[in-house]
Amino acid sequence: MRMYEAGDIVLSLAGRDAKRLFAVVAVPDENYVHISDGKSRKAAKPKKKKTKHIGLIKKSEGEFAPADAAIRKMLADAKKYKTNDNDNDKEELFCQKTM
């Protein structure tokens, strides 16, 4: 069973891109996903990331077209939701770490 699918919004937990939101563009296998933020990592050249280094923020809702503008809009909406949360430890509450 795959934990992630294209269109999911994830939070990077490790690496130089830690604490940044990304959209899953593709899932080549159970251990890796390809992620993009639509700005520095375009959908045409996504970053390969291990699944243990990301946390699920939001599951995809319906069809997903990996276009940079659509990815930027999805992530902006997710950031708005995240910043409206009043808890001090937002990342731990917001990110469902999967093991």
Residue pLDDT, tens place only, 34-89: 999 999 989 899 999 999 999 999 888 878 888 888 889 888 888 876 655 554 44
Q: Is residue 64 part of a domain?
A: yes
Q: Is residue 2 part of a domain?
A: no
pLDDT category at 14 given cuts 50, 70, 90 is very high
Q: Is residue 31 part of a domain?
A: yes
Amino acid 62: pLDDT:
78
pLDDT category at 1 given cuts 50, 70, 90 is low
Report the CATH number at residue 77: 2.30.30.30
Mean pLDDT of 11-16: 94
Range of the domain at 56: 9-97
Q: Work out how many domains the chain is built from and give that number.
A: 1
Q: Is residue 1 part of a domain?
A: no
- Let me know: does 5 contact 74? Beta carbons within 8 Å: no
Amino acid 91: pLDDT:
47
Q: Is residue 4 part of a domain?
A: no
